[in-house]
Chain A
Amino acid sequence: MAEDPKSPQPPDQDQLAKAANQAGSGTPDSSTSANPKPAGPSAEKPPAAAAAAPAKPAAPAKPAGPVPQPWDSPLVDKLKRQYGTGLESWTYLGQNYLQVDRSLIPTVLQLLRDEERFDYCVDVTAVHYPKRERQFDIVWILYSFSRNERLRVRTQIADGEHIPTASSLWATANWLEREAFDMFGIQFDGHPDLKRILLPDGWKGHPLRKDYGIIQQDQEWVQINLGIDSGQ
């Protein structure tokens, strides 16, 4: 599992195209954090992105589209007072999300559940950005029955970095985290039974990582267990 990213398979065409595209317009995340403050002095990255970006999306009639706006609410004020700079709040297309520092994750999630009544964990998932230093976005989608409100909590972790489990807060996170582990290789500390859920136990590799090709598979597993050369 750990050797995966170091020995990537030859990427297929789709992946190359995708990577080129990404390099051009910036990953979704880098631009979300750069866009809201274009006037700021921290414009080392934007020129590079801006130089390449307008050339690419020339085709669609639409302009760049909406950008995430800073989001304020009593909840955010409270969180910011407590945790200060480790936390940013944005709203995009009417949906609110928090960008939270990795170290604050357990306390923020605990507080959201206990004090802010986000009693339903809709989903736990991840997104892979191989070009970034901290390669993974972990996303918790929360819902509160009493407030009828959704909230996404996002954090970034590096490859191999662990993250505490949320299954002690929401029992539903058990399988959702197992799936994130299965598909991305994210290690959730304190999970009661962290093992593969959709793929077979002996499988090598985590298919939803970007360096895992779409027709790639664990040939060895297929040969041993299915007795054929290829599952294709």
Chain B
Amino acid sequence: MTDPTSSVSHLDLEESKHTFLDANELVINMGPQHPATHGVLRVILRLDGEKVMGLECVIGYLHRGVEKIAEHRTYTMFNPYVDRMDYVAAVSNGLGYCEAVEKLLNIEAPPRANYIRVILTELNRLASHQLWLGTHALDIGAMTPLFYTFRDREEILKIFEKYCGARLTTHAFRIGGCQYETYEGFEKDVKKFLTFVAPKIDEYEELLTTNRIWVERTKNVGTISAKDCIALGVTGPVLRASGVKWDLRKAQPYANYKLFDFDIPIGQNGDTYDRYLVRMAEMRQSLRIIQQAVDGIPEGPIMAKVSKVIKPPVGEIYHSIEAPKGELGYYIVSDGSTQPYRIRVRPPSFVNLQALELMCRGQLVADVIAVIGTLDIVLGEVDR
């Protein structure tokens, strides 16, 4: 009775041992429902033991056809849709879109509107970086930063809510300027927030920057060189952490960024730790910009003269801004009607995600989590 089973199990053991020794590669699936992928991203990993030999991203789970929708909406009607792409930095999306259409119409937002735009956009950059830090640290195993950053991000969302009634998908700007004048006490709120948040950023750094576990998990993890970044079209903090001093706010200033004094923080090694340092420094630079903007905000109109029906002349335009994740571009083709003939969104997350394969090759499985976090992708923007 025991004979056949024992012989079978023996045979099985032989078999499995044999295949185990031979199997250099194991293909495993991560996601699409995985807490560390920050949305619905599916990664197919090819592993040798714990080492990543290669991977493939499967995306599109959140595809809503934003570019198709744009062709069937007027320019004004499409404005709220852009907020739904990178929904943690909706204000930046709106700024890029409004400016692109303004360029196509050959108009400019008035100075006061530009100041309001800069303040809100930089607040949103800070909120986006805070969300990144909290979730990234949580993925790697540090739970406390999540509570700290979400607590402080709340203050930014409160300002948004008081300004335009929405917290996340704000639809804060209109083509030609801003729809809303700032509320009573807006400047006071922003200044109060600045003094509130500056020591909080030090607090985040105290938790992590010299934390041994954090350093071990991030140093020399997901390294990417400047050359590879450029070849892969990677932009934003990832590019800067690899040592390229390039920020569209300086390189090709839009809104009124050239009026403000700020630095572009860069890293050297292009690893996860440097990207962390770059984003931390960027938060402080954002505070500097907001401080200058809120001090110098002029009186005046908040909307340029824009006809009710927006009908840009026949032509095409490409306009891009430095979104928290990188270069966010809009390529708009107008056929002279009230609806765009074609809108192409150049999403930073989509292009940056392409670098995941290169950054993870040769690393451990656990590092894939760290690298997805450090790329700071938003799947709503990857899939559109």
Give chain A's interface residues, CB within 8 Å of chain B. Answer: 14, 18, 21-22, 25-28, 31-32, 56-57, 59-62, 64-66, 68, 92-93, 95, 119-123, 125, 127-128, 139, 141, 145, 148, 150, 152, 170-172, 174-176, 179, 183, 196-200, 207-208, 212, 214
Contacts and interface: CB of A to CB of B under 8 A. Distances in A.
B346 A57 contact: no
Contact of B331 (A141, A198, A207): A141
B294 to A, nearest CB: 30
A66 B313 CA distance: 8
Given A61-B307, A65-B312, A127-B333, A214 B67 contact: no
B339 interface: yes
A196 B57 CA distance: 12
Interface string B316-340: 1110100000010101011111010
Contacts of B33: none
A55 to B, nearest CB: 12
A152 B320 CA distance: 14
Q: Which of B316, B317, B351 lies at the interface centre, i.e. has the most chain A CB atoms within 10 A of its CB?
A: B316
A120 B309 contact: no
A198 B233 contact: no
Contacts of A183: 67
B143 interface: no
B315 interface: yes
A214 B63 CA distance: 14
B55 interface: no
Given A148-B252, A172-B232, A200-B60, A31 B314 contact: yes
B140 interface: no
Given A123-B344, A171-B232, A18 B313 contact: no
B72 A199 contact: no
A92 B316 contact: yes
11 contacts: A14-B339, A22-B341, A27-B335, A57-B311, A65-B312, A66-B106, A122-B346, A171-B231, A172-B231, A200-B60, A214-B71
Given A172-B232, A208-B68, A127 B337 contact: no
B251 A172 contact: no
B150 interface: no
7 nearest A-B residue pairs (beta carbon): A65-B313, A172-B233, A198-B60, A171-B231, A123-B346, A198-B63, A125-B344
Nearest to A14: B72
Given A28-B316, A93-B106, A119-B230, A139 B246 contact: no
Contacts of A176: 351
B334 A28 contact: yes
B72 A214 contact: yes
Interface in B341-364: 341-342, 344, 346, 350-351, 354
Nearest to B350: A175
Nearest to B382: A198
B278 to A, nearest CB: 18
Nearest to B231: A171
A175 B331 CA distance: 17
Contacts of A64: 313-314
A179 B230 CA distance: 20
Contact of B341 (A28, A61, A212, A214): A28
B329 to A, nearest CB: 6
A122 B354 contact: no
B300 interface: no
A174 B337 CA distance: 33
Contacts of A175: 350-351, 354
A25 B67 contact: no
B122 interface: no
A6 B82 CA distance: 33
A121 to B, nearest CB: 6
A10 B350 CA distance: 33
A25 B60 CA distance: 36
